[in-house]
Chains A and B, each alone.
Chain A
């Protein structure tokens, strides 16, 4: 038996191909949307992987350092190092800000890292060019997504930094590229006031009788010095000794240090479940709408094609064609349209994904699920047309 659907598609190939291309672009957008969500999750996981930490110690009862602000004294890490099970602890700061490169601004996450030997916690694990930071000030390692090159000068607040190393895929959970600078510089960038604000602060302190008491001339100077210094970090990254139980160590830190400590799974839950939850819901809504629009398009096209063939369908039924053959013809056409659309969508998504400013991760399992969803949508969309075709009275082929 010949394939009626195949012959019809070959006969009206232009209609199918152009409709398939239109549908394919819609499917491509759907795949890209799924890829954006996957990219966000992957960015979050990359952030955790690249930090090299087993535990994140943050201000008590906060979801820091990525989902909420967190502030810790920068000497807390010393007391953590004394706890059993902890091999390394390092301060770190995170600040998302506009960084100036030449004449342009770049949205980036500035990460303050401590000096130390290679492999120190918080350091970028791999460089694609250049070297790690070796000086205490004004050197930076930047992700290539910032557009920076080795030797470029970056302006962060009032200071300029020379790019000495480049990384790849070092991004925040929001997809902003990272720029690593020495911790002290990062603390200044995050907390240092401008000169006018410092002067105003000094005047206010001097005018406060509580700090400027007669007979205690050094008090006001000490207070001003204390106000001007910054001894805070956002988190302490902790690496555990082999065999240590992360949950047990985190519990000890919470109990004895009055701080909050997150294990890797807990931090993943925060990033995926809280930080990108709203975005995920938004993307989910878009996916649902796009699926409905795709279904409506396929249903409309197949319905129109079927209505154009009503007389032929009546003739087919009159000459003895089974209902299953006619239903199969319509179903195959819908599936063929979906298959053309999926191929076009997959190709367009694959080629356009790198052009998006944020990371778009197209995963094979999403493509397989997408193909399945397209086929299901096409089957559902063809039901209306099949119903119409099966209702056609073969007597319509006979006049009168």
Chain B
């Protein structure tokens, strides 16, 4: 289903032009296999957010090649036409704050994505409930986001990111607001989900608690990535 995971070659992004041009990405290479969770770490201003926005099909890279799952997204001057549908169907997002829709209950927050894709309401809700059960928050299915704890909200946000079975999930500081126990719980869930749904997951983080859990880590500095092996510590 997820095919090739994430494959990036020579990805560049330049902001502005002429003397004021800034090269945020200078030729990033990256590869994440289906079912794998990798960390992306780097200091502020290193290009993390730019890379995440390029991967999230929110901004266009200046050059390079990017493939998500089986789909080629960018190839230098060429890009896929419908980025909105691409984001909906091929990419799952998990944010630092859960950003759940406050006026929808937990089930509909998760079911909204398949509904937007045209899946009938009943089927979308069934799919959402399956995921909520897998993430152990099914007992809060009818609750409103404001009634959930921080950890529960983040699990619901993960369920939303997974509900359309995307080949790729981009997690932007998903554990930042959580304590150690809950942070490790979220990483465990992401690992479980990656394996279960064959999804490639990139976790952007500064969180020292979770960095040792990654088997592979991409360091980004001055718009370039360097790959290194992580500790891959088991989460109890």
Contacts and interface: CB of A to CB of B under 8 A. Distances in A.
A, B assembled together: yes
B58 A394 contact: yes
Q: By CB atoms of chain B within 10 A, which of A320, A325, A397 has the most?
A: A320
Contact of B121 (A1, A8, A325, A395): A1
B156 interface: no
A399 interface: yes
A316 B93 CA distance: 11
A312 interface: yes
B139 to A, nearest CB: 21
Contact of B53 (A4, A7, A395): A395
A239 B121 CA distance: 73
The A contact surface, by secondary structure, is helix
A320 B93 CA distance: 11
B85 interface: yes
Interface stretch (B7-15, B30-38, B107-115): B107-115
Contacts of B52: 398, 400
Given A398-B52, A400-B49, A7 B103 contact: yes
B80 interface: no
B184 interface: no
A7 B121 CA distance: 15
A321 B101 CA distance: 13
Nearest to B108: A2
B58 A320 contact: no
Given A2-B121, A398-B56, A11 B48 contact: no
Contacts of A296: none
Given A312-B101, A319-B93, A398 B49 contact: yes
Contacts of A322: 84, 116
A397 B103 contact: no
A7 B104 contact: yes
A10 interface: yes
B84 A11 contact: no
Contacts of A397: 93, 95, 99
Contacts of A2: 104, 108, 112, 115, 121
A318 interface: yes
Given A7-B104, A312-B101, A312-B102, A399 B96 contact: yes
A11 B49 contact: no
B134 to A, nearest CB: 20
Nearest to B119: A1
B116 A325 contact: yes
A167 B121 CA distance: 64
A319 B116 contact: yes
Contacts of B140: none
A315 interface: yes
Q: By CB atoms of chain B within 10 A, which of A318, A321, A325 has the most?
A: A318
A311 interface: yes
Interface string A297-333: 0000000000000011001111111100100000000
B1 to A, nearest CB: 19
Interface in A1-25: 1-2, 4, 7-8, 10-12
Given A320-B88, A320-B113, A398-B58, A315 B101 contact: yes
Given A1-B115, A398-B53, A7 B108 contact: yes
Nearest to A7: B103
Contact of B56 (A12, A318, A325): A318
Contacts of A317: 84
B89 interface: yes
Contacts of A399: 49, 95-96, 172-173
Q: By CB atoms of chain B within 10 A, which of A1, A7, A312, A400 has the most?
A: A400
A10 B48 contact: no
A12 B58 contact: no
Contacts of B49: 398-400
Interface string B14-36: 00000000000000000000000
B84 A8 contact: no
B103 A12 contact: yes
Contacts of B104: 2, 4, 7
A125 B81 CA distance: 78
B59 interface: yes
A321 B48 CA distance: 25
A395 B52 CA distance: 10
A399 B95 CA distance: 8
B87 interface: yes
Interface in B41-56: 48-50, 52-53, 56
A303 to B, nearest CB: 18
A4 B172 CA distance: 26
A379 to B, nearest CB: 22
26 contacts: A2-B104, A2-B115, A2-B121, A4-B104, A11-B102, A11-B144, A312-B101, A315-B93, A315-B99, A318-B58, A318-B87, A319-B93, A319-B112, A319-B113, A320-B84, A320-B87, A322-B84, A325-B116, A397-B93, A397-B95, A397-B99, A398-B49, A398-B56, A398-B58, A398-B95, A399-B173
Interface of B: 48-50, 52-53, 56, 58-59, 84-89, 93, 95-96, 99, 101-104, 108, 112-113, 115-117, 121, 144, 160, 172-173
Question: Can you list the 10 inter-chain pairs with the closest CB atoms, starting with the nearest?
Answer: A400-B49, A320-B88, A11-B103, A8-B103, A395-B58, A315-B99, A7-B103, A320-B87, A1-B115, A320-B84
Interface of A: 1-2, 4, 7-8, 10-12, 311-312, 315-322, 325, 393-395, 397-400
Given A312-B101, A398-B49, 20 more contacts: A1-B115, A4-B101, A7-B108, A8-B103, A315-B93, A316-B101, A318-B56, A319-B160, A320-B113, A320-B117, A394-B87, A395-B53, A395-B59, A397-B95, A398-B56, A399-B49, A399-B95, A399-B172, A400-B50, A400-B52
